[in-house]
């Protein structure tokens, strides 16, 4: 049975799903060293934001197939290292959207009315009604930085409270912003005009310290900023200075440059700052959502099925995936076949998607063809996750073309590869029942299903040659399951394709090429 390590607190609903297919070990608070020691025996890892999955941990996970992040941000996972190892990384892109948006709204209101400090003062036995005179958000301007899932929900809620909305998001259309009642502006305008600023962007090199001393200096003295996105988008030292100097009115932070928050000048500030320990996703509802969403994906991947929210595989809707599934096998088989015909060191792969496959939706077939091509060299190390990276590292150039004309089959795939044994090509298609047919080899028409052991010869079409080859194979005790000849003209060049019951014994290829009329012979194992 597969083994799953759960290294952060996950709702029981997720554990129950994982337990259907695996033994589940929950080990919270592992140190990096303990992680490296524990990980080799696990097939899957499920985390929240509490575990930092480094390259060392990933490289020690020899059996790891999937890392599931019960939440949105995968910035605590070294995704490039996982991709290189062929480990799929999945998340739950929507499970905690509402929870995080509501937390941001709660932070904005709590900050405006000093609720945490007022509450603490009453609990201390005081009755101070002067210190905690707040501000209304009604008719104030909210600047939403990042108008994605969470930012959109915050904008909608803020609009309902009578706020005016600005948004900064270079990847969102003006129409979308207008639909949400936001005026799309450049970041500087947002900083200068907003009374409240809420951040809902990922942490990337571009967004790191987006809110630095310079940005803070552009904000209004009454401005308040809320970060329920990611630590490090705000420069915490600069923020502490700005608050201390009264350059802005307040800040509410759920996320920090380093978590848990250690010694920090932010802790020393008063009612103008609210700090929560990364609670954006901490609602019962969100935790059930993300646990189920990610556990289902881990279960599916362990059962050999695709994941629906993989962050390091070309994104595919389940519908498209279902449509493409039979063709994925075709692409992989043809990639494997053409790779073997072309020999090692392939440096160019041409992929032509024909007929109904000539659409952008078919891009995963190119990845499947690459996986097949690399499978002789990398065996089970290559998969849909790392095939493109591995190909790039090996200097394999890929040329993709599309031809929508329908010929003999609704959809077909033509691959040609240039390697140490020259350039070879194969075409394949699916029959109505989904069975694979190889329909062309090196531009010679044939029609044969792939089989585990195959022999291809390039020969001169002349009487007696089939008999001679049959006798030679018989003398080596090799049984022929089926045979076909493909030719363009009578007595011209031709290919012979044989499916064999057994692998060819060593040395027989040289004997085959000694048969008069046979120029070349290739053996292939699929």
Ligand X SMILES: O=C(O)CC[C@@H](O)C(=O)O
Residue 394 a catalytic site member: no
Element (H, E) at 335: helix 318-342
- Give yes or no for a contact between 400 and 353, defined as CB atoms under 8 angstroms apart: yes
177 binds ligand NAD (CB under 6 A): no
Given 153, 200, 230, 424, the catalytic residue: 230
72 binds ligand X (CB under 6 A): yes
73 binds ligand X (CB under 6 A): yes
Q: To the nearest whole angstrom, how small is the minimum distance from the Cβ of residue 67 to ligand NAD?
A: 16
375-405 in b/e form (b: 16+ CB < 10 A) is bbebeeebbbbbbbbbbeeeebebeeeeeee
Q: Classify residue 137 by its DSSP letter.
A: -
Q: Which is nearer to ligand X, 256 or 384 (CB)?
A: 256
473 binds ligand NAD (CB under 6 A): no
Given 259, 323, 400, 511, the catalytic residue: 259
Residue 453 a catalytic site member: no
- Give yes or no for a contact between 494 and 433, defined as CB atoms under 8 angstroms apart: no
Choose, by CB under 6 A, the member of 14, 68, 71, 232 that binds ligand X: 71
374 binds ligand X (CB under 6 A): no
Of these partners, ligand NAD, ligand X, none, which one is at the site of residue 172 (CB under 5 to 8 Å by kind)? ligand NAD
Q: How many angstroms separate the CA atoms of 47 and 18, rounded?
A: 13
Of these partners, ligand NAD, ligand X, none, which one is at the site of residue 155 (CB under 5 to 8 Å by kind)? none
Q: Which is nearer to ligand X, 145 or 478 (CB)?
A: 145
Residue 424 a catalytic site member: no
Q: How many angstroms separate the CA atoms of 341 and 525, rounded?
A: 10
Contacts of residue 467, Cβ cutoff 8 Å, sequence gap at least 6: none
172 binds ligand NAD (CB under 6 A): yes
Q: Name the residue number minimizing CB distance to ligand X.
A: 71
- Give yes or no for a contact between 30 and 54, defined as CB atoms under 8 angstroms apart: no
Q: Which is nearer to ligand NAD, 94 or 493 (CB)?
A: 94
281 binds ligand X (CB under 6 A): yes
Q: To the nearest whole angstrom, how small is the minimum distance from the Cβ of residue 77 to ligand NAD?
A: 12
Interacting residues with ligand NAD between 76 and 115 (CB under 6 A) = 96-97, 100
CA neighbours closer than 13 Å in the CB half-sphere of residue 30: 23
Q: How many angstroms separate the CA atoms of 301 and 297, rounded?
A: 6
333 binds ligand NAD (CB under 6 A): no
147 binds ligand NAD (CB under 6 A): yes
103 binds ligand X (CB under 6 A): no
Q: How many angstroms separate the CA atoms of 168 and 186, rounded?
A: 6
Cβ atoms within 10 Å, residue 431? 11
Given 224, 278, 299, 459, the catalytic residue: 278
Q: How many angstroms separate the CA atoms of 247 and 239, rounded?
A: 9
The site for ligand X, by CB under 6 A, has a size of 10
- How do 453-460 and 518-525 pair as beta strands? antiparallel
72 binds ligand NAD (CB under 6 A): yes
Torsion angle (degrees, nearest 10) of CA 485, 499, 438, 427: -80
254 binds ligand NAD (CB under 6 A): yes
- Give yes or no for a contact between 144 and 165, defined as CB atoms under 8 angstroms apart: yes
Q: To the nearest whole angstrom, how small is the minimum distance from the Cβ of residue 282 to ligand X?
A: 6
Q: Which is nearer to ligand NAD, 102 or 461 (CB)?
A: 102
Q: Name the residue number minimizing CB distance to ligand NAD.
A: 148
Interacting residues with ligand NAD between 151 and 170 (CB under 6 A) = 151, 168-170
- How do 493-500 and 480-487 pair as beta strands? antiparallel
Q: Which is nearer to ligand X, 73 or 445 (CB)?
A: 73
Choose, by CB under 6 A, the member of 50, 116, 134, 202 that binds ligand NAD: 202
DSSP output for 151-162 = HHHHHHHHHHTT
Q: How many angstroms separate the CA atoms of 142 and 196, rounded?
A: 5
**Is the bond leading into 438 cis (omega within 30 degrees of zero)?**
no
Question: Catalytic positions, please?
Answer: 230, 259, 278
Q: By the criterion CB under 6 A, which residues form the site for ligand NAD?
A: 71-73, 96-97, 100, 145-151, 168-172, 200-202, 206-207, 228-230, 254-255, 278, 280-281
Q: By the criterion CB under 6 A, which residues form the site for ligand X?
A: 48-49, 71-73, 96, 278, 280-282
């Amino acid at each position: 049975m597969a083994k799953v390590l759960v290294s952060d607190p996950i709702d029981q609903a997720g554990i129950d799903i994982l337990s259907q297919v695996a033994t589940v070990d929950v080990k919270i608070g592992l140190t990096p060293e303990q992680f490296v020691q524990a990980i080799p025996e696990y097939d899957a890892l499920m985390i929240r934001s509490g575990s930092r999955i480094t390259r060392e941990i990933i490289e020690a996970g020899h059996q790891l197939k999937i890392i599931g992040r019960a939440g949105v941000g995968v910035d605590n996972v070294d995704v490039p290292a996982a991709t290189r190892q062929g480990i799929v990384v999945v998340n739950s892109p929507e499970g905690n959207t509402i929870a995080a948006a509501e937390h941001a709204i709660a932070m904005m209101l709590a900050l405006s009315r000093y609720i945490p400090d007022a509450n603490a003062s009453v609990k201390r036995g005081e009755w101070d009604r002067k210190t905690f005179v707040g501000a209304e958000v009604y008719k104030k301007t909210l600047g939403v930085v990042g108008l994605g899932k969470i930012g959109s929900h915050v904008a909608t809620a803020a609009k309902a409270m009578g706020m005016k909305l600005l948004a900064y998001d270079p990847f969102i259309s003006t129409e979308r912003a207008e639909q949400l009642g936001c005026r799309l502006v450049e970041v500087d305008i947002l900083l200068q005009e907003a009374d409240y600023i809420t951040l809902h962007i990922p942490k990337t090199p571009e967004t790191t310290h987006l809110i630095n001393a310079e940005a803070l200096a552009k904000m209004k003295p009454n401005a308040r900023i809320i970060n329920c996105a990611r630590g490090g988008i705000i420069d915490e030292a600069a923020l502490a200075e700005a608050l201390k100097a009264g350059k802005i009115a307040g800040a509410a932070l759920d996320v920090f440059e380093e978590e848990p928050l250690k010694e920090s000048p932010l802790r020393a500030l008063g009612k103008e700052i609210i700090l929560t320990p990364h609670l954006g996703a901490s609602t019962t509802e969100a935790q059930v959502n993300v646990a189920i969403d990610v556990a289902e994906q881990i279960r599916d991947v362990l059962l050999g099925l695709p994941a629906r929210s993989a962050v390091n595989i070309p994104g595919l809707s389940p519908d498209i995936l279902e449509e493409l599934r039979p063709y994925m096998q075709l692409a992989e088989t043809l990639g494997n076949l053409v790779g073997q015909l072309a020999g090692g060191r392939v440096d160019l792969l041409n992929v032509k998607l024909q007929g109904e496959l000539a659409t952008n939706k078919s891009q995963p077939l190119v990845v499947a063809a690459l996986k097949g091509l690399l499978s002789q060299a990398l065996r089970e190390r290559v998969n849909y996750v790392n095939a493109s990276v591995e190909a790039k590292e090996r200097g394999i150039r890929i040329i993709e073309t599309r031809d929508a004309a329908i010929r003999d089959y609704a959809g077909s795939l033509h691959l040609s590869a240039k390697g140490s044994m020259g350039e070879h090509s194969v075409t394949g298609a699916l029959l109505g029942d989904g069975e694979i047919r190889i329909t062309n080899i090196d531009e010679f028409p044939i029609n044969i299903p792939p089989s585990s052991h195959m022999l291809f010869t390039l020969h001169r079409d002349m009487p007696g040659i089939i008999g001679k080859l049959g006798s030679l194979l018989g003398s080596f005790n090799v049984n022929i399951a089926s045979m076909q000849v493909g030719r363009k003209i009578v007595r011209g060049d031709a290919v012979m394709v044989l499916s064999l019951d057994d692998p060819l014994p060593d040395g027989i290829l040289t004997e085959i090429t000694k048969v008069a009329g046979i120029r070349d012979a290739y053996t292939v194992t699929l």
